[in-house]
Amino acid sequence: MTSKPYLTGHYTPVADEVTATELTVEGALPPELTGRLIRNGHNPKPGITPTHWFKGSGMVHGIRLREGRAEWYRNRWVHTPALDGAPYMTEQGPDLTASTAGTHVIEHAGRLLALCEANLPFELTPELETVGAYDFGGRLRSAMTAHPKEDPQTGELHFFSSSPFPPYLIHHVASADGQVLDSQEVPGATAALKHDFALTEHHVVFLEGSVTFDPSEHSGIPYGWSDAQPSRIGVLPRGAGGAGRVRWYEIGQGFAMHLANAYEDARGRIVIEGPSVGRDGWRRSWNWWVGAPDRGAEPTSGSRGRRWTVDPATGRTGEEESDDLTVEFPTINEAFTGREHRYQYALAFPDDRGVGRHTLVKYDRVTGERRLRPFGAGQLPSEAVFVPAAGATEEDAGYLLTVVGDLDAGASRLLVLDAGDPALAPVATVHLPRRVPAMIHGSWIPDAALTGPGQRAGR
């Protein structure tokens, strides 16, 4: 039996693709929840043991809701060349289509895209079948981050390509209708790992932490912690030629895998928030990801909420720990992307600081209050996806969607929680036909979004 943690427990892959219709619902699904919750994660084929959690082939799981009904659940592998064993490196160089496509799934301009940061995105149909690699009509000739950001005001999609070899960082912008408008190499970037980034109203913000290219790492993901790698924040003005005016600001050692948001405050300072780890936390997490000894029980170890502040006028930076829980997968109401938000959500993992079970956390950044919704033994919730209520005027007026795996029951369910108070009884529960493995990221995609140039017939 394998000892790889990412193939056991909540992370045990499923061996097949299924479709189930007319799912059982407890409570009442709000009628505005008409669309699809699609989640993505690593699910290698039976008999395959990847050398790193992130090397497992991608599988998407979808739940179709419409006008108070749960019409279907289905799961599908993303059928890329890598699923059938094609190597990423060839004699001609990297094959950007040889992707796991297993980190995230988004919608932009009517297209569903499964993402992995080392490769091109893969387009899916609304029924989750694979269409193929998508390169924005030939305009994208590099990899695409798994964490693009859509500006809620303009509809523009910002994303980047990061590489351990020059060019280290390229910033891209696509229009609301899916046309690549601009691609700029970012001066001063290094081989440091860049997994996520942030937008503000006037800037694009990159974090380079203390994790950088390590040629001695043989897991297939060639990165490692380096005390010699400076941690920095890069601030790039949005708009044509902005990359040439990027400024880099040094901060303390650490690494942030995911960012909650960034914004410009009333004094013109740039504020960035998200969980961060230090050297020991990174190494424990890495050991979990590769299945090495001296690892924690979870894929995140010692990841604490953090806030960085950059003052472009003075060049000063500041940082502080914003919370003492071990948290990851921060989310917000995405209508506030790039603008100051009040509420933030995250998953808290069991640790030695008072949280004994997996817990959904809601933060109020104005009052400092945090509300906890702990889950039962053997239960693991997914990243909380915010969906606004119909006619909402308050930032937290809406729902949190989370898929909860239950090891003891060998089953999973979708919870629809009141985002105003996630500790309340669920608004609705959808019982899924199988245990859904722990995924990484996902999106709520309303039917109205599937009306752009990439629209394909779907039910």
The answer to whether residues 281 and 303 touch, using CB atoms and an 8 Å cutoff, is: yes
Q: CA 347 to CA 380: how far, in whole Å?
A: 10
- Establish how many alpha carbons lie within 13 A of residue 40's alpha carbon, considering only the half-sphere containing its beta carbon: 29
Whether 105 contacts 112, CB under 8 Å: yes
Alpha carbon distance 54, 193 (integer Å): 14
Cα distances from 99 to residues 81, 133, 347, in angstroms, run 7, 9, 27
**Token digits for 249?**
């600001």
Whole-Å CA distances, 423 to 179, 319, 360, 401: 42, 30, 9, 13
CA proximity to 148, closest of 456, 443, 374, 458: 443
Type and span of the H or E element at 321: strand 316-331
Q: Report the alpha-carbon distance of residue 435 to residue 136 in Å, rounded.
A: 35
User: What's the one-letter identity of residue 53?
Assistant: W
Distances (CA, A) of 205 to 237, 308, 309, 319, 342: 9, 11, 12, 15, 20
Q: Tokens representing 414?
A: 């979708």
Say how far apart CA 142 and CA 151 lie, in whole Å.
22
Domain ranges of the chain: 147-368
**Count of alpha carbons within 13 angstroms of residue 81, beta-carbon side:** 15
Contact 253, 278 (CB under 8 A): yes
Contact (Cβ atoms closer than 8 angstroms) between residue 197 and residue 147: yes
Ligand-binding annotation for 441, yes or no, is yes
Sheet with 203-208, side-by-side order of all strands:
197-199, 203-208, 231-237, 247-251
Q: Both tokens of residue 185?
A: 């190499």
Confirm whether residue 42 is marked as ligand binding. Answer: no
DSSP class of 433: S
The tokens of 75 are what?
Answer: 């799961």
121: Cβ–Cβ under 8 A, 6 or more apart, which residues?
Answer: 101, 113, 114, 115, 133, 134, 144
Instruction: Please report the pLDDT score of residue 156 as a whole number.
Output: 97
Q: 258 a known binding residue? A: yes
Entry field: residues in the chain: 459
For residue 35, list its beta bridge partners: 65, 446
- pTM, two decimals, is 0.95
Contact in structure between 174 and 155 (CB atoms under 8 Å) = no
Give dist(CA 399, CA 416) in Å, integer: 6
Give the whole-angstrom CA distance, residue 147 versus residue 309: 21
Q: From its phi and psi, is residue 283 left (phi > 0), alpha (psi between -120 and 50) or beta? A: alpha
DSSP character at residue 277: B
Residue 411: closest CA among 430, 429, 434, 428: 434
Give the closest residue to 419 by CA, choosing from 366, 373, 356, 358.
Answer: 373
Contacts for 320 with CB less than 8 Å, ≥ 6 apart: 306, 307
User: 10-residue block means of pLDDT along the chain (459 residues)?
Assistant: 84 97 98 98 96 97 97 98 90 90 97 97 98 96 97 97 96 96 96 98 98 96 96 96 95 97 97 97 95 87 94 97 94 98 96 72 97 95 98 97 96 98 98 96 95 61
* Tokens (6 digits) for 416: 């629809």
Task: Report the 10 Å Cβ neighbour count for 378.
Answer: 15
Q: In this structure, how many other beta carbons lie within 10 angstroms of the beta carbon of residue 366? A: 8
CB of 178 closer than 8 Å to CB of 453? yes
Distance from C-alpha of 260 to C-alpha of 387, rounded to nearest angstrom: 16
Please name the residues in contact with 112: beta carbons below 8 A apart, sequence gap of 6 or more.
38, 105, 106, 123, 124, 125, 126, 128, 445, 450, 454
User: To which residue do tokens 């961060």 refer?
Assistant: 276
What pLDDT, on the 0 to 100 scale, is given for residue 346? 98
Strands 157-162 and 169-174: antiparallel
Please tell me whether residue 429 adopts helix, strand or coil conformation: strand
At 1 the pLDDT is 41
203 annotated among ligand-binding-site residues: no
